[in-house]
Amino acid sequence: MVEQMQLASRQQAWLKHYPEGGRALSLGALRMLVDRLGIGPLRPPPHRGGDAARAIESRRLRELAAQQVNVPRVLGQGRRSLMLSDNGRSLNTCLREAASDQARDALVQRAVQAIAQAHAQGAYLGQPVPRNMTFDGSRIGFIDFEEDPLEVMTLTQAQARDWLMFGYGVARYYETRPQMLQQLISEAMVRQDAQVREAAHHATTRLQRLAGVARHLGRSARRLAQAIVVIHGASALGVLVVVGLMADYFSDGDLDVLRVLLG
């Protein structure tokens, strides 16, 4: 739970609470599925609650700040809470309210540059979807670090995961112009470590196959398959396919995909 606060200094801040309780069982099942499908970058990290989640988020914020990534500062902490500085407006809101396609493209371009720059510093962002990104009018920022993907994958996989997450998160704004999204993302990805591109490519190839199967299953599976946005990298170096199915892997324990595939 996150609450917006105004400090006595008139500074805006956010109080984030970490309730107790995890989702060990459902995540175990999901991890098995992801392993069977060979899509390592989509392995769900452990979802801890309470003080353990707070400790991860505050450690990650320190690491990311040291890597020059624009993240909130920790203004204070309690046993199951952190007080964070305001990092700007939600990128999701900015994208939704963008006055034109051009304005939206410009924001997405800044966002992909921010991700690429973070990666160049050796950082990984975990869940860089627009609701976990901010824009303060000049800089893109990142929030929400209570899960650490590096607990269950390599840095290369974690950086590949960032692109899959981002692509999935912004795809809804590009339903009628997927080529433009493809272009914006591939411009940044061509400068990435080749291994990261390969990991993203491998995962999305697997997901594409899965989507093909889902298309032949029931109505909800077809809907999932239809939600797939394919971003086919124009570059000779890499192909990135972003798949709507990923929603189910990440939408906080929602196991629609498991239900579709297993019964």
Partner from ligand ADP, Mg ion, none contacting 84, C-beta within 5 to 8 A by type: ligand ADP
Please, which residue, 40 or 128, has the CB nearer to ligand ADP?
Answer: 128
Partner from Mg ion, ligand ADP, none contacting 14, C-beta within 5 to 8 A by type: ligand ADP
Please, which residue, 131 or 222, has the CB nearer to ligand ADP?
Answer: 131
Partner from Mg ion, ligand ADP, none contacting 81, C-beta within 5 to 8 A by type: none
Partner from Mg ion, ligand ADP, none contacting 67, C-beta within 5 to 8 A by type: none
* Range 115-134, binding Mg ion (CB under 5 A): 132
SS3 annotation, 201-248: HHHHHHHHHHHHHHHCCCHHHHHHHHCCCCCCCCCCCCCCCCCCCHHH
Q: Which two tokens stand for residue 23?
A: 């989702």
CA 223/CA 243 separation, integer angstroms: 12
Nearest in space to 26 (alpha carbons), one of 249, 211, 224, 260:
249
The owner of tokens 């105004």 is 6
Q: Which two tokens stand for residue 22?
A: 């995890």
Q: Is 144 in the site for Mg ion (CB under 5 A)?
A: yes
Question: What's the closest the beta carbon of residue 2 comes to Mg ion, in angstroms?
Answer: 8
Q: Which residues bind ligand ADP (CB under 6 A)?
A: 2, 14, 16, 72, 84, 86-87, 90, 131-132, 134, 143-144, 146
Please, which residue, 21 or 38, has the CB nearer to ligand ADP?
Answer: 21
Please, which residue, 145 or 173, has the CB nearer to Mg ion?
Answer: 145
Q: Which two tokens stand for residue 235?
A: 């570059």
Question: What's the closest the beta carbon of residue 146 comes to ligand ADP, in angstroms?
Answer: 6
| DSSP conformation class of 45 | P
CA 218/CA 211 separation, integer angstroms: 12
Partner from ligand ADP, Mg ion, none contacting 196, C-beta within 5 to 8 A by type: none
Question: What's the closest the beta carbon of residue 72 comes to ligand ADP, in angstroms?
Answer: 4
Question: What's the closest the beta carbon of residue 12 comes to ligand ADP, in angstroms?
Answer: 8
Partner from Mg ion, ligand ADP, none contacting 72, C-beta within 5 to 8 A by type: ligand ADP
CB 87 within 8 A of CB 58: no
In the chain, % helix, strand, coil (3-state, to 5) comes to 55, 10, 35
Under the phi-then-psi rule, with left for phi > 0, alpha for psi from -120 to 50, and beta for the rest, what region is 251?
beta
* Range 51-110, binding Mg ion (CB under 5 A): none
User: Which residues contribute to the site for Mg ion (CB under 5 A)?
Assistant: 132, 144
